[in-house]
Amino acid sequence: KAGVTQTPRYLIKTRGQQVTLSCSPISGHRSVSWYQQTPGQGLQFLFEYFSETQRNKGNFPGRFSGRQFSNSRSEMNVSTLELGDSALYLCASTISAGHEQYFGPGTRLTVT
């Protein structure tokens, strides 16, 4: 079974721009979660989607948004990029809340 895939793997954007990251979960997994990883803050939960609905959201500003499609693929969008948004963005999928999460390789976003 193929693992979680994320595209693109690397991205360089300028402050003020917006960016969209994509995640394809493991086949059969309907829940997709997003995490931000930075050296200073570590791994932080962004949001979780299940069956095209955002069920939960972490403590991030409204510039961070996401969506999930009927095939469980998910995208996250960051608008009006700030230097502090530079991070590794990780997507994870799971069958359900009571199961383990499997992570993709991440998208490395650099904001200049």
Partner 1 sequence: AQSVTQPDIHITVSEGASLELRCNYSYGATPYLFWYVQSPGQGLQLLLKYFSGDTLVQGIKGFEAEFKRSQSSFNLRKPSVHWSDAAEYFCAVKGNSGGSNYKLTFGKGTLLTVNP
Number of Cβ within 10 Å of residue 36's Cβ equals 21
| Tokens linked to 20 | 């969209």
Q: Which helix (H) or strand (E) holds 87?
A: strand 87-94
Considering the rule CB under 8 A, would residue 43 count as an interface residue with partner 1?
Answer: yes
- Nearer to partner 1 by Cβ, of 14 and 59: the residue is 59
- List CB contacts of 71: < 8 A, sequence separation 6 or more: none
13 to 32, contacts with partner 1 by CB under 8 A? 31
Considering the rule CB under 8 A, would residue 100 count as an interface residue with partner 1?
Answer: yes
Q: How far is the CB of 105 from partner 1 (least distance, A)?
A: 4
Among 20, 30, 58, 65, binds partner 1 (CB under 8 A): 58
- List CB contacts of 35: < 8 A, sequence separation 6 or more: 43, 44, 45, 46, 89, 90, 91, 92
Q: How far is the CB of 87 from partner 1 (least distance, A)?
A: 13
Which positions lie near partner 1, rule CB under 8 A? 4, 6, 31, 33, 35, 42-43, 45, 48, 55-56, 58, 90, 92, 97-98, 100-106, 108
